[in-house]
Structure 1
Amino acid sequence: MKLLPAAALWVVLGGLLSPACRQATSQAPSQAEINAIGLKQGSITMCGPASGQQLGTATFGTSCSAAVQPDFNLALTLLHSFEYDEAEKVFARVIAREPSCAMAYWGVAMCSYHPLWTPPSPAELTKGAKAIELAQRLPGKTPRETAYIQVLQAFYQDWEHVEHKVRALRLEQAMARVHAQYPQDPEATIFYALALDAAADPTDKTFVKQKKAGALLQALYPGEPNHPGILHYLIHTYDYPELARLALPATRKYASVAPSSAHALHMPSHIFTRLGLWDECITSNLAATESARCYAASTGLPGHWDEELHGLDYLMYAYLQQGKTELARAQWQYLATIREVTPVNFKVAYAYAAIPARYVLENRLWQEAARLPLRPGSLDWQQYPWQAGIIHFTRALGQAHLGHPDSARREVEALRGLHHALLGQKDAYKATQVQIQLLGAEAWTLLAAGEAAAAEQRMRQAADLEDRTEKHPVTPSEVLPARELLADMLLQLQRPQEALAAYEANLRTHPNRRNGLRGAATAAAQSGAPEKAARYGQQLRKVTLPLTTGRADKGAWLALP
């Protein structure tokens, strides 16, 4: 007897169970209870190079009626590409047609979680908790559906009193039980892999959870090559220098499977950036930012969509690594015209701070760095201490390189205050990011004051701390890698052999960085290693444009042999 595939089997079981679900209609939530969730509603808007909705293929059999199953599957594909607003609209459409469909409320609660982004806001947590409460209450669910709903109940329970990290670990453990209970259910495996990624410790350099998630997803891939979740989460799973090459097959396929998603168009650039593949990174983000602009216009968003600014930061970074200074500066100039963004969140604040900071620091424009403004003024920067720290870090480096240690110290003290604020908020990851900036700013301030030994000590502390901490997915790279800054300092202190070792260590985790390659070539030449100097010089020429007199990047800050 020929067995049905797991996904098809669930659809059949859902069809058999749907009468029970329909019998429970009388016990469906009241309209007032549904309204209290605050569901996003409206027509579905997707933008991309392809016509229609091309989002990949995913199915999730439910006990709800067959009439709403296509919409449920559509919402699922949107959810897997982190198109949360559009996914919620489709889940809301299912609820409007069939208020007793418990898994539609599960879907709404999933849309409020955002496992690999910043923790949900109180408003999102309130919405998710209300939705999952209704899902729990509804009768007629299958044991499998009940298990999925209990996973989210573990996350939303006591959210007012239990910190996000603890609840993310609870969700991972609950999803592990569902995966063990339903080993033939591909969605259980996929969501378990996502839960592992979300709960991974950013300081764990053995990547235990990521490797486990990757093995689960890779085992599923041959049977579901067009599943957006498998492709998407493989990219996130391997978004680390040590693992990035493992993601290349998924990276090069995801955008073609789900071209209607701006996030799917952007996500491959995470791996392209990790591997220094700048042409592909640029192509990816040109498509993603164009799709994001289309989405904002099509949905009538006030101003620009936050996904556009996220893509602009990656685009700026890639242009800088190729030495395409005019194109890089154009991103900054364009950003300055953006006055309104929806929603305003951590991604928006990061892009507003990082894009100008990258430009002036990568190009060693110390005068501009020293007076870089915190813009836009309309943004409540007190809500974003890490992002505000980028500007103070930039100013401190600018002042220090101009020989103004007193002015640099004021920026250092501002960073110290931001670090203290994040410690008070118990945001360990962001506090560590600001601590790295603080140590680096202190280091160059001390060097400007003539205290070379203390400066080197601080810079080594910053580099070691950054080596132990992974970057956040919001950023293509640290604004300036700390170990590269250490190498710059050692070169300035006329210790080229040590500088070369530091440049090479940094290039292993940040391949094809323009300033890293130039610094390595210079340090090798000064160390009496002409073959290495020539190799790094040749590599630099492959990834950058030739330097010309009068270039805005002032690229000759280190002499290329």
Structure 2
Amino acid sequence: MKAPLTSVSPLAGLASITGLAARVTAVALLAAGPLSVAGQSVDVSPGAAEATLLGRIEFPTSGSAEAQGPFILGVLALHSFWYEQARDYFLEANALDPQFGKAGWGEAISYDNALLTEPDQAGYERQGESAVARMNELHAAGQLVWNDRERGYADAVRWRFAPGYGVADRRREYAQAMEQLSLRYPEDDEIIVFTALALMALPGFDREQPLHVVTVAGRLEEVYERNREHPGALHYLIHVYDTQTFAAMGLRQARVYAEIAPASSHALHMPSHIFRHLGMWQEVAASNEDSYQASVAWQERTGRPLHMRDYHAMDWALDAYLRMGRIDQAQRIMEELDVIETEIVRRGEESGHFASAAETMRAYYASALSN
């Protein structure tokens, strides 16, 4: 439930084009291809740019050097729940090195939807099953290469999408398998981070329970101390601290995450989960303005349908505008919804989750103005 509106004076304008806003502008340029700077050609192709706009991890694998680049980009995108883009990268890695077993793992785990940020959970489960089945067929035919550590990841993802199990049981078995892997490789940051996420996804995990929070946050905080640009550590710490009780503990990560991963719409949105609990409404608005615009740039660059934009971010921006009394900006969102709706019809595209998102925003806007 959204809280009642407060009578805060309108705040002028959007974020200035400095710092984070400038980096978000750079993300928008991904659609433009090579640029000329001081007479020199600069590669701002999606892969080259996103390599520096999604964070930093170390994840050595048995894949070819050529496939390692898109694989790392896939994991970076995955840590920001940018599932569609992550799959693109994992499929690219697989095309470059068809024996690269870890690329098949990446495609499969991109359907995990650990914290239910994607609305079609049933569809993700089915597609995850299919991805694991393809991986298993290639493995049985001796066409995939794995080292011992990678086989541990593969065994875990098999549990995550095990046939005949319900989602809750799959998640429990997957978390247990990842816990066992983390005991075998206690210094491996990627295993630690993926295990922490698996624990957060367990049925019954409660972010209001200090023991639950400390169990997960303690592991992620250690990774964060070793690598202040790890998108998974930053992202999942924000999620684990996403309550009124613990929000202040997540403010450090909220102020950093969007700065290190501005190519991801979700990374730009996530700090607002902390800002919201702390009543930082201008920051909530700015985060979600940036998030929505990044999703527009990605949707246009990749030619995906309009319903793939981040309307969750638009909804949160609307909420922030109304709480601050910025009615003119809230009205512009209503107008934007009308434009998008008309364009979806003109293109003959499916409306996807846009229809329900637009209905929710319009109802909230009308209710806010009537109160």
User: Residues 325-344 of structure 1: matches in 2 within 5 Å?
Assistant: 325-339=327-341, 340=344
Does residue 241 of the first structure (1) align with residue 221 of the second (2)?
no
Q: Is the CA contact 1:114–1:120 (under 8 Å) kept in the aligned structure 2? A: no
Letter in 2 for 1:335: L
Pick from 283, 286, 295 the counterpart of residue 286 of structure 2: 283
Aligned CA distance change for structure 1 residues 110 and 343 (closer, same or farther; 3 Å): farther
Secondary structure of 2:112's partner? coil
Report the CA distance between 1:75 and its aligned residue.
Answer: 1.6
CA displacement at 1:166 relative to structure 2:
2.0
Q: Which residue of 1 aligns with 2:360?
A: 354
Q: Secondary structure at the match of 1:199?
A: coil
| Partner Cα distance (2:244, 2:260) in 1 | 25
Give the aligned partner of residue 323 of structure 2.
Answer: 321
Equivalent of residue 259 in structure 2, options 246, 256, 261: 256
CA contact (8 A) 1:313 1:355 kept: yes
Report the equivalent of 1:150. Answer: 155
Q: Is the 8 A contact 2:112 2:128 kept in 1?
A: yes
The 2-side partners of 1:172 and 1:303 are apart by 35
Tell me how far apart the structure 2 counterparts of residues 282 and 165 of structure 1 sit (CA, whole Å): 35
Cα distance in 1 for residues equivalent to 2:96 and 2:62: 14
8 Å contact kept, 1:305–1:343: no
Q: Residue type of the partner of 2:178?
A: M
Secondary structure of the equivalent of 1:337? helix
State whether residues 193 and 213 of structure 1, in contact with CA within 8 Å, keep that contact through their aligned partners in structure 2.
yes
**Which residue matches 2:26?**
50
Q: Cα–Cα, structure 1 residues 269 and 208, in superposed 2: closer, same or farther, change >3 Å? A: same
Which residue matches 1:228?
Answer: 231
The answer (yes or no) to whether the contact 2:296–2:309 under 8 Å persists in 1 is no
1:15-39 C-alpha deviation (Å, 9 max, x unpaired)? xxxxxxxxxxxxxxxxxxxxxxxxx
The offset of 1:357, in angstroms, is: 2.4
Structure 1 Cα separation of the partners of residues 350 and 159 of structure 2:
27
1:371-396: CA deviation from partner (whole Å, max 9, x where unpaired): xxxxxxxxxxxxxxxxxxxxxxxxxx
User: How many pairs does the alignment contain?
Assistant: 315
1: distance between equivalents of 2:203 and 2:271? 21
Give the RMSD, CA atoms, in angstroms: 2.3
Shift of residue 120 of structure 1?
4.6
Paired position in structure 2 for 1:30 = none
Cα pair 1:105 1:135 within 8 Å, conserved: no
Q: Does residue 312 of the first structure (1) align with residue 341 of the second (2)?
A: no
Aligned residue identity for 1:232: H
- Structure 2 CA distance for aligned equivalents of residues 73 and 241 of structure 1: 34
Aligned-residue offset at 1:154 = 0.4
- Measured in 1, the distance between the counterparts of 2:184 and 2:352 equals 37
Q: Trace 1:86-105 onto structure 2 (pairs within 5 A).
A: 86-105=85-104
Q: Structure 2: which amino acid aligns with 1:155?
A: R
TM-score (norm: length of structure 1): 0.53
Which residue is 2:191 aligned to?
A: 188
Provide the rounded CA distance (Å) in 2 between the counterparts of 1:135 and 1:116: 29
Can you give the 5+ residue segments of structure 1 that lack an aligned partner in the other structure? 1-46, 366-553, 555-561
Would the alpha carbon gap of residues 203 and 278 (structure 1) be closer, same or farther in structure 2, given more than 3 Å must change? same
**For the structure 1 residues 173 and 349, does the alpha-carbon distance in structure 2 shift closer, same or farther, using more than 3 Å as the test?**
farther
Contact 1:109 1:152 in 2 (8 A): yes
Q: Is the 8 A contact 2:307 2:352 kept in 1?
A: no
Match of residue 69 from structure 1: 68
Alpha-carbon distance in structure 1 between the residues aligned to 2:350 and 2:174: 26
Contact kept? 1:106, 1:135, Cα under 8 Å: no
How far apart, in 1, do the equivalents of 2:206 and 2:368 lie?
Answer: 27
* Partner AA of 1:333 in structure 2: E
Which amino acid counterpart does residue 279 of structure 2 have in structure 1? G
1:168 aligns with 2:171: yes
Shift of 1:168: 1.5
User: Separation in 2 of the partners of 1:134 and 1:257?
Assistant: 38
Q: Secondary structure at the match of 1:263?
A: helix
Distance 1:183 1:133 in 2: 27
8 Å contact kept, 1:71–1:94: yes
CA contact (8 A) 1:59 1:76 kept: no
Q: Compute the displacement of 1:83 (Å).
A: 1.6
Does 2:87 align with 1:111? Answer: no
- Deviation for aligned residue 1:186: 0.6
Distance 1:274 1:343 in 2: 35
- 1:138-191 residue CA offsets vs partner (Å, 9 max, x unmatched): 454222111111111001111xx4322221122111111111111011101000
Distance in 2, matches of 1:345 and 1:209, equals 35
Contact kept? 2:129, 2:162, Cα under 8 Å: no
Report the 3-state secondary structure (helix = DSSP H, G, I; strand = E; otherwise coil) of the residue aligned with 2:187: coil
Q: 1:297 to 1:65 in 2, by over 3 A?
A: closer
Which string of whole-angstrom CA distances, capped at 9 and with x for unpartnered residues, describes residues 244-283 of structure 1?
Answer: 1111111110111011112211111111112211010111
CA distance in 2, matches of 1:243, 1:223: 22
What is the correspondence of 1:301-450 to structure 2 with a 5 Å cutoff? Answer: 301-307=304-310, 309-339=311-341, 340=344, 348=354, 350-363=356-369, 365=370
2:207 and 2:213 in contact (8 A); partners too: no
- Per the TM alignment, residue 135 of structure 1 is displaced from its structure 2 partner at its CA by 6.3
Task: Measure how far apart 1:200 and its partner are.
Answer: 4.9
Matches within 5 A, 1:111-150: 111-117=110-116, 118=119, 119-121=121-123, 123-134=126-137, 136-137=139-140, 138=142, 140-150=145-155
Q: Which amino acid is the alignment partner of residue 59 of structure 1?
A: E
Q: Does 1:297 align with 2:300?
A: yes
Identity of aligned residues (%): 31
Closer, same or farther in 2 for the Cα pair 1:143/1:125, shift >3 Å?
A: same
* Shift in CA distance, 66/125, structure 1 to aligned 2, threshold 3 Å: closer
Spell out, residue by residue over 1:301-322, the C-alpha distance to the aligned partner (whole angstroms, 9 max, x if none).
2334231x11111001111111
Question: What is the CA distance between 1:48 and its match in structure 2?
Answer: 3.3
What are structure 2's unaligned runs of at least 5 residues?
A: 1-22, 28-48
Higher relative contact order (CA 8 A, sep 6+): 2
Look up the equivalent residue of 1:251 and give its one-letter code: A
Indicate how the Cα distance of structure 1 residues 203 and 144 shifts in structure 2: closer, same or farther if over 3 A, else same: closer
Residue 59 of structure 1 corresponds to which residue in structure 2? 58
Report how far residue 201 of structure 1 moved. 2.2
User: What do the CA deviations read for 1:488-527 (whole angstroms, capped 9, x no partner)?
Assistant: xxxxxxxxxxxxxxxxxxxxxxxxxxxxxxxxxxxxxxxx
What SS is found at the alignment partner of 1:48? Answer: helix
